């Protein structure tokens, strides 16, 4: 609050050293804020899923129990967690400035990420082939949207990793590159967090109840 | 804004990463999700099942927040933690109130869910409506 | 995959044909000729005075938060004028089309607008006023003032700031384009479901509405991230949380809303987009769709959005009232707490927009009580302003007049809002013009706040004050107009006039409708005085001092007027809340820094404006289903973002000698001056 202090001989009016800001932490904080808004996108989709997954929304089509498989979903969970762990390990290698370590971690994370996305893609393609595509019912529309939105995020993350591989080789660990690697770590971990909620909510709670 | 010449690798967020922490986060997530999968294979009353799932999800998310994301109250991470804590209620409010509003709406305006005739059936499906549905209509 | 349309479609032009241009409508042709003439005059003037390179270098490619803020406000004012003309047309239509005997001209049975055109006009009015007028003006003010108030050199992410501006501009440009190419949505600014679905709205109008909002809301989200990060990370040394001015505080709370609410709007619109383009069944009738879900998602965003708009004016009043009362703000802490209480409560009241959905007494009871709670923090704020003025040395300059007017309007809108929060009343007046009058009182607080802020901070940005005499004419005509339009509207609402009527069936309402028309004419006069105020001020240019009003209390009045592009020659050390007032009390307010250190500045970049142009092309391609155009634009955006991440430009260094030169002759460093050309740094230290 307004402390009415008197100015004394030691009162400082200007601070020329103040311009030193930690650019990396400013960037990671901004990206974290973006992720919170991204989480609200998923919140909107989850709320829609809750409204559109009652028996009334099936229009005679398959419901949560028919389109999801809890065991298969668990394999996907394992793969995405493995991918996140691999990328996180890449940033442990970053501590020592090891380009090879970072690149290896990113490569493993990419391979697992591609495996995850193709499993999801395969599921949706199989449903469509059965005549249960996204335009079959409101429930299938929101189910496809949820899986595809998560998949799109994964795809963007994989593209980002590819770019980071190039930048590590080309620029080395500059402040910009390090900030991007840290942001990507949050982004990738965030995908696993979202997937855990998808798995519990759609595959387990909806799929078996 | 300003040109800074400190070593980016010395940034606290880089230094924070550790194999032990990430491995623990990974194992905890796998363990809790595996437990959730096992629980789902048993025929439990829905409410009980849902409670267990919510508990396991909460544990997983807490493990990921603290170990993967490394959220804590250190100088480097405090504002991330604060902004998350401010945002979590919004997730709950928007999903929770929506679910409440629509379940109340459905229960007041729709036939009981398990007795709704399929929309894909011909319009005269009312004739074949099951007995409980007719009883509901009569009430 | 995609939905089949009945219309002709060609791969090159999509749905776009010559018939899409409404050259047979005299109103639109007239508007087009007017807009084209003004546009040509502007372009010709720019070319004649050879200002194109200046515009490109100093404005279009800038990353300076003040210039971006000014451009936001110009955009907002242009759109405000467009939205005002829509309002003028609606009022005129309603006063003409009363009763079965009312005449019709220009192809309309009654009045001069056929129903389809009238529906577009009110849809455009709402969309433009809220999303393309109020939001950019408030974003612009935050952009200009917040970094100055916390002693920062710029926003946390200057480049992202420019991206936000150009995305918003792209959305606004799409709305303007809809006037001359195709049509606009006729499904209201909220998007009434299932009316906005493809089977009921096969034209491009809804698509224009969807994509314009989608692009600009992306820009608003980015801007919110930027403001939050700036406030959290960029404060000057000594600027502790509770030394921040209230305007900065409200920008923090409003940006939290912007960050969290706009994504939900994105979801609602994306699901509608999927319905219209891909044939999903979210909001359809049948196939298990539920169109009330759209209304729910829309208002999850929509209500926080209202507080997103109203909070910045609260901050503006909190700056203006102490300055012109020559007293510290009464109850600083409660003011801050109330801002966050409003933001928090605002997030959990949205279903009061559809009490009549039928969700039951429990839910209606909850949302009703939650809504009433908003009255508490708002009341706190009103009393704080009143107590600040109490026994103060008040000068009624234009900004102060606007602030007082804002408090009155807030009371009007607030009390009628309390009435509407009771479901029993709400059921009676649901969708009547009573609701319209209520929320216009509230959004007029935003407009009034904007005019107050422009008058208050204008000298800081441009170096001279706005003309006081014409400013007061503008104020009084505007105030009178607001009363004459909206007081009768409350009455008509209670008598049962529903909203969105292109034909008024009850002749007994004619007197009040005529009163509203008189009010809108008064608004026209106030627009004239606004333009005259700007003209006279630009002509006379009476220079203003650093502390333009002589009683400023916060940091922005400490730097030079007009503000140099680097803001503060040396970052100030903050010693108190209301730093400038504190320095004045201690006789230190005239002390200027003597020694300077080099400043690192970001370089200008063309990438944001390119992204904006491409986003507009993406929207246009999607609206007219010109797939190659949408695809190419999206690809261009992705490539631009990636290419930018490979750019090694690290900005440039402003040397101490240069700063000393600028400080002795600040007009050289002012915003509208042309700055010296600088070569960028190109050092990247690898490890």
Q: SS3 for C464?
A: strand
User: A55-76 burial string, b = 16+ CB within 10 Å, else e?
Assistant: ebbbbebbbbeebbebeebbeb
**Is the peptide bond between C194 and the residue preceding it cis, with omega within 30 degrees of 0?**
yes
Alpha-carbon span C539 to C464, nearest angstrom: 11
| DSSP H or E run through A84 | helix A70-95
Residue B31 and residue B43 in one domain? yes
Sorting pLDDT into bands at 50, 70 and 90, what band is C453?
Answer: very high
Residue B81 and residue B50 in one domain? no
The yes-or-no verdict on residue C506 having pLDDT over 50 is: yes
Domain contains B21: yes
Please tell me the distance in Å from B116's CA to the nearest CA on chain C: 11
Sequence-ordered list of residues with C-beta below 8 angstroms from that of C289, at least 6 positions apart, any chain: A52, A57, A138, A141, C275, C281, C282, C283
Residue A201 confidence (pLDDT): 93
Domain contains B101: yes
Answering whether pTM is above 0.90, one says yes
What domains does chain A contain, in order, with CATH numbers? 24-208 (1.20.120.80)
DSSP-assigned letters across all residues of A121-150: HHHHHHHHHTT--TTS-HHHHHHHHHHHHH
Residue C20 confidence (pLDDT): 85
Domain contains B56: yes
**What token pair was written down for C64?**
């300076």
**What token pair was written down for C159?**
């480049």
Do the Cβ atoms of A14 and C600 come within 8 Å? Answer: no
Helices (H), C109-204: 115-127, 135-149, 158-180
Sequence-ordered list of residues with C-beta below 8 angstroms from that of C43, at least 6 positions apart, any chain: none
Alpha-carbon span A112 to A87, nearest angstrom: 10
Which residue among C228, C288, C600 sits closest to B3, beta carbon to beta carbon?
C600
Sorting pLDDT into bands at 50, 70 and 90, what band is A208?
Answer: low
Please tell me the distance in Å from A180's CA to the nearest CA on chain C: 9
Sorting pLDDT into bands at 50, 70 and 90, what band is C106?
Answer: confident
Domain contains B23: yes
Residue B49 and residue B96 in one domain? no
Residue B59 and residue B85 in one domain? no
Longest pairwise C-alpha distance within chain A: 82
Please tell me the distance in Å from A2's CA to the nearest CA on chain B: 25
Do the Cβ atoms of B17 and A92 come within 8 Å? Answer: yes
* Closest by CA position to A13, among listed C142, C115, C188, C559: C559
Do the Cβ atoms of A50 and B79 come within 8 Å? Answer: no
Long-range contacts of B82-86 (CB under 8 A, 24+ apart): B83/A32, B83/A33, B83/A36, B83/C228, B84/A36, B86/C256
Domain contains B97: yes
Sorting pLDDT into bands at 50, 70 and 90, what band is B133?
Answer: very low
Domain contains B139: no
Residue A83 confidence (pLDDT): 97
ipTM score of complex: 0.94
Residue A16 confidence (pLDDT): 81
Domain contains B63: yes
Do the beta carbons of residue C362 and residue C283 sit within 8 Å? Answer: no
Alpha-carbon span C63 to C237, nearest angstrom: 24
Task: Give B-chain residues touching A189 at CB under 8 angstroms.
Answer: 64, 68-69
**What token pair was written down for C347?**
């997030």
Sorting pLDDT into bands at 50, 70 and 90, what band is C25?
Answer: confident
User: Is the Cα torsion angle C338, C339, C343, C344 positive or negative in sign?
Assistant: negative
**What token pair was written down for B13?**
């967020």
Task: Give B-chain residues touching C685 at CB under 8 angstroms.
Answer: 5
pLDDT in tens, C584-594: 998 888 888 88
Burial class (CB in 10 A: 0-12, 13-18, 19+), C476: middle
Residue A2 confidence (pLDDT): 45
Least confident of A142-156, C353-367, C630-644, C672-686: C672-686
Please tell me the distance in Å from B132's CA to the nearest CA on chain C: 22
Sorting pLDDT into bands at 50, 70 and 90, what band is C340?
Answer: very high
Give C373-392 as a 3 state SS string.
HCHHHHHHHHHHHHHHHCCC
Residue C684 confidence (pLDDT): 46
Residue B78 and residue B51 in one domain? no
Residue B20 and residue B57 in one domain? yes
Do the beta carbons of residue C228 and residue C254 sit within 8 Å? Answer: no
The yes-or-no verdict on residue C686 having pLDDT over 60 is: no
Residue A154 confidence (pLDDT): 97
Q: What percent of chain C has pLDDT over 90?
A: 76
The yes-or-no verdict on residue C177 having pLDDT over 70 is: yes
Helix-helix angle C205-233:C135-149, to 10 degrees: 10
Sequence-ordered list of residues with C-beta below 8 angstroms from that of C149, at least 6 positions apart, any chain: C244, C245, C247, C248, C554, C555, C556
Residue B63 and residue B80 in one domain? no
Displacement of CA C591 from its chain's centroid (Å): 37
Domain contains B27: yes
Q: What percent of chain A has pLDDT over 90?
A: 78
Residue B126 confidence (pLDDT): 42
Domain ranges of chain C: 311-550
Residue B37 and residue B60 in one domain? yes
Task: Give C-chain residues touching B13 at CB under 8 angstroms.
Answer: none
Alpha-carbon span C159 to C411, nearest angstrom: 40
**What token pair was written down for A195?**
């997937």
Which residue among C288, C578, C648 sits closest to A138, beta carbon to beta carbon?
C288
* Closest by CA position to C388, among listed C331, C330, C336: C330
Which residue among A19, A81, A84 sits closest to B1, beta carbon to beta carbon?
A19
Average pLDDT, chain B: 80
Q: Which domain holds residue B61?
A: 12-70
Best to test chain C binding among A8, A10, A11, A16 (most C CBs inside 10 Å) = A16
Residue B78 and residue B65 in one domain? no
DSSP-assigned letters across all residues of chain B: -----S-GGGSHHHHH--HHHHHHHHHHHHHHHHHHHHHHTS---HHHHHHHHHHHHHHHHHHIIIIIS---SSTTTHHHHHHHHHHHHHHHHHHHHHHHHHHHHHHHHS--GGGPPPTTS-GGGGGG--HHHHHHHH-
Q: Identify the CATH number of the domain defined by range C311-550.
A: 1.20.210.10
Task: Look at chain B and report how many structural domains it folds into.
Answer: 2
| DSSP H or E run through C222 | helix C205-233
Displacement of CA A37 from its chain's centroid (Å): 12
Residue C5 confidence (pLDDT): 80
**Is the peptide bond between C562 and the residue preceding it cis, with omega within 30 degrees of 0?**
yes
User: C271 or B135, which is more confident?
Assistant: C271
Residue A4 confidence (pLDDT): 61
Sequence-ordered list of residues with C-beta below 8 angstroms from that of C539, at least 6 positions apart, any chain: none
Between CA C365 and CA C271, with CA A55 as vertex, the angle to 5 degrees is 75
Displacement of CA C32 from its chain's centroid (Å): 24
Do the beta carbons of residue C127 and residue C92 sit within 8 Å? Answer: no
Do the Cβ atoms of A178 and B102 come within 8 Å? Answer: no
pLDDT in tens, A13-23: 888 877 667 78
Average pLDDT, chain C: 92
Displacement of CA A69 from its chain's centroid (Å): 22
Task: Give C-chain residues touching A1 at CB under 8 angstroms.
Answer: 242, 332-333, 577
* Closest by CA position to C120, among listed C203, C21, C186, C198: C186
**What token pair was written down for C526?**
């106030």
């Amino acid at each position: 609050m307004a402390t009415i202090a008197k100015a004394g001989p030691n009162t400082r009016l200007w601070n020329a050293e103040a311009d030193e800001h930690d650019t990396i932490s400013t960037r990671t904080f901004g990206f974290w804020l973006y992720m919170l808004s991204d989480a609200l996108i998923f919140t909107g989709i989850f709320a829609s899923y809750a409204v559109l997954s009652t028996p009334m929304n099936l229009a005679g089509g398959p419901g949560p129990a028919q389109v999801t498989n809890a065991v298969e979903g668990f394999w996907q969970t394992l793969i995405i967690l493995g991918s996140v762990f691999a990328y996180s390990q890449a940033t442990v290698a970053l501590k020592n400035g090891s380009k090879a370590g970072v690149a290896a971690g990113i490569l493993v994370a990419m391979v697992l990420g591609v495996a995850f996305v193709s499993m999801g893609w395969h599921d949706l393609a199989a449903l469509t082939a059965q005549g249960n595509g996204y335009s079959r019912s409101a429930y299938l529309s929101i189910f496809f949207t949820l899986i595809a939105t998560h998949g799109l995020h994964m795809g963007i993350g994989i593209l980002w990793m590819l770019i980071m591989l190039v930048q590590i080789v080309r620029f080395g660990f500059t402040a910009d590159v390090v900030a991007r690697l840290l942001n990507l770590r949050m982004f990738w971990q965030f995908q696993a967090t979202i997937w855990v909620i998808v798995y519990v909510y759609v595959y387990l709670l909806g799929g078996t109840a | 804004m300003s040109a800074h010449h400190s070593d980016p690798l010395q940034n606290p967020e880089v230094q924070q990463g550790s194999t032990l922490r990430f491995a623990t986060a990974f194992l905890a997530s796998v363990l809790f999700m595996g437990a959730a999968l096992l629980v789902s294979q048993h025929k439990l009353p829905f409410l009980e099942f849902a409670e267990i799932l919510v508990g396991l999800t909460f544990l997983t998310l807490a493990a990921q927040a603290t170990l993967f994301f490394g959220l804590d109250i250190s100088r480097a991470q405090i504002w991330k933690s604060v902004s998350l804590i401010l945002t979590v209620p919004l997730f709950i409010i928007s999903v929770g109130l929506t679910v409440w509003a629509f379940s109340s709406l459905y229960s007041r305006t729709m036939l009981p869910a398990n007795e709704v005739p399929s929309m894909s059936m011909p319009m005269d499906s009312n004739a074949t409506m099951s007995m409980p549905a007719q009883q509901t209509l009569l009430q | 995959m995609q939905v089949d349309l009945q219309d002709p479609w060609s791969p090159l032009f999509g749905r776009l044909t010559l018939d899409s241009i409404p050259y047979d409508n005299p109103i639109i042709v007239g508007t087009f000729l007017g807009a084209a003439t003004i546009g040509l005059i502007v372009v010709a003037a720019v070319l004649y005075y050879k200002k194109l390179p200046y515009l490109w270098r100093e404005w279009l490619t800038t990353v300076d938060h003040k210039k971006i803020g000014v451009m936001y406000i110009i955009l907002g004012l242009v759109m405000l004028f467009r939205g005002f003309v829509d309002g003028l047309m609606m009022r005129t239509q309603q006063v003409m089309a009363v009763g079965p005997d009312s005449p019709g001209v220009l192809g309309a049975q009654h009045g001069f607008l056929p129903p389809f055109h009238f529906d577009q006009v009110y849809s455009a009015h709402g969309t433009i006023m809220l999303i393309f007028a109020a939001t950019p003006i408030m974003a612009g003010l935050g952009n200009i003032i917040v970094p100055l108030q916390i002693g920062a050199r710029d926003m946390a992410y200057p480049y992202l700031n420019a991206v936000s501006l150009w995305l918003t501009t792209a959305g606004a440009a799409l709305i303007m384009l809809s006037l001359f190419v195709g049509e606009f949505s006729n499904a209201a600014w909220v998007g009434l479901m299932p009316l906005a679905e493809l089977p009921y709205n096969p034209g491009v109008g809804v698509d224009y509405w969807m994509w314009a909002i989608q692009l600009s809301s992306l820009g608003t989200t980015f801007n919110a991230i930027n403001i939050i990060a700036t406030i959290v990370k960029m404060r000057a040394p000594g600027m502790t949380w509770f030394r921040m001015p209230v305007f900065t505080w409200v920008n923090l709370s409003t940006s939290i809303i912007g960050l969290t609410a706009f994504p939900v709007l994105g979801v609602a619109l994306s699901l509608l987009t999927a319905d219209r383009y891909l044939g999903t069944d979210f909001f359809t009738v049948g196939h298990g769709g539920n169109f009330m879900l759209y209304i729910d998602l829309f208002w999850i965003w929509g209500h926080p959005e209202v507080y997103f708009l109203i909070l910045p004016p609260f901050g503006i009043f909190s700056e203006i009232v102490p300055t012109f009362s020559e007293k510290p703000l009464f109850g600083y802490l409660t003011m801050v707490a109330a801002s966050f209480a409003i933001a928090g409560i605002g997030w959990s009241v949205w279903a009061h927009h559809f009490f009549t959905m039928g969700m039951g007494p429990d839910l209606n009871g909850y949302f009703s009580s939650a809504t009433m709670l908003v009255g508490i923090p708002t009341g706190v704020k009103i009393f704080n302003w009143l107590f600040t003025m109490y026994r103060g040395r008040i000068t009624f300059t234009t900004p102060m007049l606007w602030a007082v007017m804002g408090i009155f309007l807030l009371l009007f809108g607030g009390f009628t809002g309390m009435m509407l929060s009771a479901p029993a009343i709400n059921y009676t007046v649901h969708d009547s013009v009573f609701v319209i009058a209520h929320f216009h009182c509230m959004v007029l607080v935003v407009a009034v706040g904007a005019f107050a802020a422009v008058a208050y901070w204008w000298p800081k940005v441009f170096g001279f004050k706005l003309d006081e005499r014409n400013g007061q004419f503008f104020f009084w005509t505007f105030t009178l107009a607001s009363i004459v339009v909206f007081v009768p509207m409350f009455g008509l609402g209670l008598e049962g006039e529903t909203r969105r009527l292109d034909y008024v069936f009850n002749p007994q309402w004619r007197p009040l409708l005529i009163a509203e028309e008189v009010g809108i004419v008064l608004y026209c006069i106030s627009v004239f005085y606004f333009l005259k105020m700007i003209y006279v001020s630009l002509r006379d240019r009476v220079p203003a001092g650093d502390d333009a009003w002589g009683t400023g209390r916060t940091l922005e009045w400490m730097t030079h007027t007009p503000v140099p592009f680097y803001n503060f020659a040396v970052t100030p050390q903050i010693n108190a809340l209301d730093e400038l007032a504190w320095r004045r009390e201690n006789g230190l307010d005239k002390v200027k820094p003597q020694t300077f250190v080099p400043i690192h500045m970001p370089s200008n970049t063309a990438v944001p404006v390119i992204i904006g142009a491409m986003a507009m092309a993406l929207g246009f391609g999607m609206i007219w289903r010109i797939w190659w155009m949408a695809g190419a634009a999206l690809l261009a955006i992705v490539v631009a973002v990636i290419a930018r991440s490979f750019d090694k430009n690290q900005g440039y260094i402003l040397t101490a000698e240069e700063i000393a030169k600028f400080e002795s002759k600040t007009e050289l460093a002012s915003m509208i001056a042309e700055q010296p050309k600088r070569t960028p740094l190109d050092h990247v230290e690898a490890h």
